Amino acid sequence: MSKNKTLLAIVSILILAFAAAAVAQPGPIGENILVKPKSGQEAQWEAAYKEHLKWHEEMNDSWNWVTYQMMSGPRAGEFFIRAGGHEWKDFDALGEMGEKDTANYYETAGKYAESHYIWYDRTHRDLSNMLEGGGPYKVLEFNRVEVKPAMVGKFLNVVRKYHAAVEKTNAPMHFAFAQTETGGATSNFVFVGLHEGYAGLEQSPDVIPKMMNEVYGAMDAQAIFDDYWSCVESTESYIAIRRDDLSYIAPETTSNE
């Protein structure tokens, strides 16, 4: 084989490998639904939602719908349903399937719900540290940060420094970092700690300061922390547990986002 043909073959293989990787990489957009069942009708909502999930199975739905139950904070007892790993164009492709999905939900579980809050977010994968394949994670630790709108750029720069420190020290922290796209202020961000169980929540409060000091030195690390708090309007935290019995995972899926 000539040198030119060999080079062409190598380039072709690299292009195919890159294309395969691109296809495997989940999209950054996630649909989130926070459901508050009517008081005293929580059990009815759960039973009806299981019926709705059977509909997804019968339709051979290609999307994942993962449900978590909020366990702390003002929304304790509510349900957080997420369909992640998408591109915006995927929502166009739903078409009639999406309409049937909504109709079936309200015929089953929807009538037992007091409210639904829906928003869409974008996962910053370059600033996240997730396991390959997206889990599954049994416990989510939410740390929501409302950033001053004028400080979004500065805030993202701080997060980049934090993420760089995690990578440099190979810290055993798994987290997703997402930003609200619509359905709320786009200056709202959330760090989602990803844990296999409650034991993952146990972490010494000085772990992050020590990591930052190790990478940047005490003075620069403190300056980074100061920059962080100068950007923040408010914060709140809460945890949620994964409910596999209230989740639908598409056949042959490679992600649990």
CATH value at residue 165:
3.30.70.100
Q: Determine, yes or no, domain membership for 226.
A: yes
Band (pLDDT 50/70/90 cuts) for residue 136 is confident
Share of the chain above pLDDT 70, in %: 88
Q: Is the model's pLDDT at 3 over the cut of 90?
A: no
Provide the pLDDT for residue 9. Answer: 38
Residue 24 lies in a domain: no
Q: Which of 36, 116, 119, 31 is nearest to 82 (CA)?
A: 31
- Which residues touch 67 (CB under 8 Å, ≥6 apart)? 49, 79, 80, 81, 82, 242, 243, 246, 247
Nearby residues of 255 by Cβ (< 8 Å), 6 or more positions away: 26, 64, 84, 85, 133, 134
pLDDT digits (tens, 9 = 90+) for 150-159: 999 999 999 9
Phi and psi torsions of 27, nearest 5°: -75, 170
* Helix 207-216 × helix 218-231 angle, to 10°: 120
Q: How many residues does the chain have?
A: 257
* pLDDT at residue 232 greater than cutoff 80: yes
Looking at per-residue pLDDT, the higher value among 249 and 3 belongs to 249
% of the chain beyond a pLDDT of 90: 81
Residue 68 lies in a domain: yes
Give dist(CA 8, CA 55) in Å, integer. 48
Q: How sure is the predictor about 102, in pLDDT bands with cuts at 50, 70 and 90?
A: very high
Residue 133 banded pLDDT, cuts 50, 70, 90: low
Mean pLDDT, residues 187-210 taken together: 93
Q: In the 3-class helix/strand/coil scheme, how is the chain assigned residue by residue? A: CCHHHHHHHHHHHHHHHHHHHHHHCCCCEEEEEEEEECCCCHHHHHHHHHHHHHHHHHCCCCCCEEEEEECCCCCCCCEEEEEEEECHHHHHHHCHHHHHHHHHHHHCCHHHEEEEEEEEEEECHHHCECCCCCCCCCEEEEEEEEECHHHHHHHHHHHHHHHHHHHHHCCCCCEEEEEEEECCCCCEEEEEEEECCHHHHCCCCCHHHHHHHHHHCHHHHHHHHHHHHHHEEEEEEEEEEECHHHCECCCCCCCCC
Is residue 124 situated within a structural domain? yes
Q: Cα–Cα distances in Å, from 59 out to 8, 46, 246, 255?
A: 43, 20, 17, 19
Answer whether residue 61 is part of any domain: yes
* Counted domains in the chain: 1
Residue 92 is assigned to a structural domain of this protein: yes
**Is residue 151 situated within a structural domain?**
yes
Domain that holds residue 123: 29-246
- Residue whose C-alpha is closest to residue 160's, from 125, 186, 195, 136: 125
Find out whether 179 and 124 touch, Cβ atoms under 8 Å.
Answer: yes
257: in domain:
no
* Token reading at 199: 């034991």
The dihedral sign for the CA sequence 97, 51, 70, 128: negative
